[in-house]
Structure 1
Amino acid sequence: MARRLTLDFLKTEAASGLILATAAVVAVILANSPWRDAYFAFVKAPFTIQFGAFEETKSVLKWTKDGLMAVFFFTVGMEIKYEILRGELSNMRKLAMPVFAAIGGMAVPALVYLAFNLGEGGSPTGWPIPAATDIAFALAALAIAAPKAPTSLRVFLLTLAIADDLGAVALIAILFTSDLNLLSLAGAAAGLGVLTWMGRWKSIPPLLFAAVFLVVWVFTLESGVNTSLAGVAAALTVPIAPRRPGEEGVLKHYMHSLHPYVAYGILPFFAFVAAGFSFDSFGGGDGLLAPLPLGILAGLALGKPIGVFGAAFLTAKLKLGQPPSGAGWLELLGVSMLCGVGFTMSLFIGGLAFPAGNATAEVQLGVIAGSILSVLLGVLTLKLAEFRQPRQ
């Protein structure tokens, strides 16, 4: 059952990666076309949400980050919980290598980024940006480059990316929490307590769960804590067991229900509003050669494969874990390169690290260029592996 859910997840993520790529390409084209003013006007358009005593006005981009992406992180939280309790992360032998690889894949890109940004004109606060991996994009690239690759290789990439997401959530909690409103934070905690109590019911009415989650989200938004954490925390309160014998588990049901909307709706829309940048933004500057975008590019395309592959190799040599069955080291190197596709997660973290100013366009340029280069290197390496050892 766990294997079936994992395979269904892989198919959805791979398909959604192609839509994500299309949305990003369209955004960059529009941002540099005669319709650029209309595109940026839409992204920056103020939008007011009001219900009861709550009233907040933000741009379309900000609402996408603070609102829709909270739903994305809710699904990420459920995926993490499922994998820890029932999936790949529940097996310590299988867990060791992708987790160590994820740690290496976060640490080395950060160091590479800092190597370009600790000097004059650098932006050292952006070091978490290249530490992230976009699950959908990476899986889509793997599906295209190596359609006959062993399932274990895809599961390795999925497990690594989930562990990577968990690390990214921790970074968001530690680094991007503004001045705290303790009263609002207490309200969010109380709402999470209600969700935990509701998890003991014979059945949870989905609308009631959604209403309480909305309350948690509002309090979190007002507390100064990033709303992505509200999504992950709420996901951890969803019970995994079925309410009646023979029924689908509540967690799995919520995952199946939400995942298509997130994969085919929320993430592509985020890519559309977050990826567009005008090349005119760089004026007479250094463009991609400036420390910020160059550090991101090098962190993703160079730091990620070094960190992921190096940690995986050491894990195997020290006999702390086993590499994916049926896969060679060249294939693992190709997958390590695909981990440099930061895209949506890197754009999200970049928006938190540099919420305004000229750095925004530099972040977008570095993330997109680094992700594209990572795809090209990963695909070429996987094709070379397939050529050297064709599969039956």
Structure 2
Amino acid sequence: MAAPRTRNRMFLGRLSLPERNFVADALRTETVGGVLLLLAAIAALVWANIPALHSGYESVVHHHLGPAALGLDLSVQHWAADGLLAIFFFVAGIELKRELVAGDLRDPRAAALPVVAALCGMAVPAVVYALTNATGGGSLAGWAVPTATDIAFALAVLAVIGTSLPSALRAFLLTLAVVDDLFAILIIAVFFTDRLNFAALGGAVVGLAVFWVLLRKGVRGWYVYVPLALVVWGLMYNSGIHATIAGVAMGLMLRCHRHEGEEHSPGEHIEHLVRPLSAGLAVPLFALFSAGVAISGGALGDVFAKPETLGVVLGLVVGKTVGVFGGTWLTARFTRASLSDDLAWPDVFAVASLAGVGFTVSLLIGELAFGGDPALMDEVKAAVLTGSLIAAVCATTLLKVRNAKYRALCVDEERDEDLDGIPDVYEEDDPAYHLRMADIHERKAAEHRRLAALKSAGTGPSAESGNSTTA
């Protein structure tokens, strides 16, 4: 007798109710932040490209402030990249910690899909960039620029075009971005640290250790942690390691699993407080002071003429799509996982193309990679904007084709006929739910019979309105 076949594992299926609620809350904030990010980027481009205002933009961006004695006499643009983005990466650290202890990444089999997809989605763009520059005689310094996905900008695209993605696809995009952020952090730490001040680094490590001890002792109060975080950030900046690493490290230290009786873990609570600050203020301000590059017809033509800029565009548009989709398909193929019955592989391809919207971290890496050549740095920023725009247009086209299907899935996910606050799809196996629905249907049927009887007797609402009309 043949052994029974094992059932294939399904991916991109329905989320658990708690995970669905968490994803919905997180994406709601990110979507609002993404729209603000989009507006900030447009404002920066307008500010930098109107001749009467261009000099004002340059003077603001390059204006220096801060205590020079502490090594922190930085330009406004530098403060935005190293300071404000530390808040963004702090939230990214909390997200990663939560995914590792309570989300999709806690199960190695479930984690394989987003991890492999993210890795391929970073490796393929880097290869595309390297090949473009190796054959065109360009610089390989910018290989990491097209490797990052900007979840906020991607969600802003969804909000603007009015596309309804099922929660499983949105969760996949969010988890993909979390893993993407992790590897982007590692790239920044490993490849863009050219000097080390071991005294400052040692002080930062001591500060992080104090931060960890205070958390484990249960010490509360923002007035303790905020000053300590600022000291750690300043020491990390002076160590030569990018200061945003301090934000990631502190985010990873927060406890993100719940103790008995807790409605939210400390990490979830702090993320809920800080995420609006990150998405609504820190990242848009970074975009305002970093995305203002002069764009003309000739400059846009140069984006496709120079190997460095062409490599960035191809990396985002082609490399990201092929990498994310290919990594997802290969993972499903070799783990014998099956796609959810509600979705098809073109849906995964559309989301993979949306991952080509790389903005915040791509701009940051572009500044780090080409900081010694301001002209080329601005051209690379223009390439990031161009590639992200092309990826957004491609994703919009692909997603619109299936939008009616997505809308129907979203309506089904939200349906709550018994009005108990829990979507009906999560109660299909609950006998009490079926009793409630039978009672609701019986009451509706009884009301329908009553109205029909009144109508046939000439005393129903239709009859009364007809009589009043005749009179």
> What interval of TM-score do these two structures reach, taking the shorter chain for normalisation?
over 0.9
From 142, 148, 154, the counterpart of 2:158? 142
Q: Offset at 1:147? A: 3.6
Asked if structure 2 preserves the Cα contact closer than 8 Å seen for 1:142 and 1:338, the reply is no
Q: For residues 241 and 385 of structure 1, do their structure 2 counterparts lie closer, same or farther at Cα, with a shift above 3 Å needed?
A: closer
How far apart are the structure 2 equivalents of 1:201 and 1:3? 32
Aligned: 1:44 with 2:62: yes
From 381, 385, 391, the counterpart of 2:398? 381
From 43, 54, 59, the counterpart of 1:26? 43
Aligned: 1:15 with 2:24: no
How far apart are the structure 2 equivalents of 1:146 and 1:337? 17
What is the aligned-residue RMSD (CA, Å)? 2.2
Q: Within 5 Å, which residues of 2 pair with 1:34-113?
A: 34-49=52-67, 54-113=70-129
From 229, 233, 236, the counterpart of 2:252? 236
Q: Offset at 1:120? A: 5.2
Match of 1:262 in 2: 278
Q: For residues 143 and 58 of structure 1, do their structure 2 counterparts lie closer, same or farther at Cα, with a shift above 3 Å needed?
A: same
**Per-residue displacement from partner, 1:40-80 (whole Å, max 9, x unpaired)?**
11111111236xx6252111001111111111111110111
Q: Offset at 1:148? A: 3.2
Q: Offset at 1:315? A: 1.2
Aligned to 2:74, the other structure's residue is in SS state strand
Match of 2:389 in 1: 372
How far apart are the structure 1 equivalents of 2:57 and 2:297? 15
Larger deviation: 175-184 or 279-288?
279-288
Aligned pair count reads 390
Match of 2:308 in 1: 292
Match of 1:328 in 2: 344
Q: Offset at 1:358? A: 1.1
Aligned: 1:4 with 2:21: yes
Aligned to 2:72, the other structure's residue is in SS state strand
How far apart are the structure 1 equivalents of 2:87 and 2:406? 42
Q: Offset at 1:323? A: 4.1
Aligned to 1:35, the other structure's residue is in SS state helix
Q: Offset at 1:2? A: 4.0
Q: Within 5 Å, which residues of 2 pair with 1:140-289?
A: 140-145=156-161, 147-241=163-257, 245-246=261-262, 248-279=264-295, 286-289=302-305
**Per-residue displacement from partner, 1:4-49 (whole Å, max 9, x unpaired)?**
2222111111221111111111111111102111111111111123
Match of 2:416 in 1: none
From 115, 124, 140, the counterpart of 1:124? 140
Structure 1 unaligned spans of 5+: none
Q: For residues 323 and 207 of structure 1, do their structure 2 counterparts lie closer, same or farther at Cα, with a shift above 3 Å needed?
A: farther
Q: For residues 119 and 390 of structure 1, do their structure 2 counterparts lie closer, same or farther at Cα, with a shift above 3 Å needed?
A: same
Structure 2 unaligned spans of 5+: 1-17, 410-471
After TM superposition, the score normalised by the length of structure 2 is: 0.78
Q: For residues 317 and 268 of structure 1, do their structure 2 counterparts lie closer, same or farther at Cα, with a shift above 3 Å needed?
A: same
Aligned to 2:393, the other structure's residue is in SS state helix
How far apart are the structure 1 equivalents of 2:29 and 2:129? 32
Aligned to 2:335, the other structure's residue is in SS state coil
Q: Offset at 1:327? A: 2.2
How far apart are the structure 1 equivalents of 2:317 and 2:91? 27
Q: Offset at 1:337? A: 0.3
How far apart are the structure 2 equivalents of 1:390 and 1:285? 39
How far apart are the structure 1 equivalents of 2:212 and 2:349? 42
Q: For residues 65 and 184 of structure 1, do their structure 2 counterparts lie closer, same or farther at Cα, with a shift above 3 Å needed?
A: same
Rg comparison, structure with higher value:
2
Asked if structure 1 preserves the Cα contact closer than 8 Å seen for 2:165 and 2:406, the reply is no
Q: For residues 43 and 281 of structure 1, do their structure 2 counterparts lie closer, same or farther at Cα, with a shift above 3 Å needed?
A: farther
How far apart are the structure 2 equivalents of 1:284 and 1:9? 35
Q: Offset at 1:100? A: 1.0
Identical aligned pairs, as a percentage?
A: 38
How far apart are the structure 2 equivalents of 1:60 and 1:243? 42
Q: Offset at 1:124? A: 0.5
Q: Offset at 1:134? A: 0.2
Asked if structure 1 preserves the Cα contact closer than 8 Å seen for 2:163 and 2:399, the reply is no
Q: Which amino acid aligns with 1:374?
A: A
After TM superposition, the score normalised by the length of structure 1 is: 0.93
Larger deviation: 165-174 or 140-149?
140-149
How far apart are the structure 2 equivalents of 1:109 and 1:32? 29
Q: For residues 321 and 170 of structure 1, do their structure 2 counterparts lie closer, same or farther at Cα, with a shift above 3 Å needed?
A: farther
Asked if structure 2 preserves the Cα contact closer than 8 Å seen for 1:239 and 1:251, the reply is yes
**Per-residue displacement from partner, 1:199-253 (whole Å, max 9, x unpaired)?**
1123422221112111111111111000111111111222235688435321111
Q: For residues 253 and 49 of structure 1, do their structure 2 counterparts lie closer, same or farther at Cα, with a shift above 3 Å needed?
A: farther
Q: Which amino acid aligns with 2:239?
A: S
Asked if structure 2 preserves the Cα contact closer than 8 Å seen for 1:281 and 1:358, the reply is no
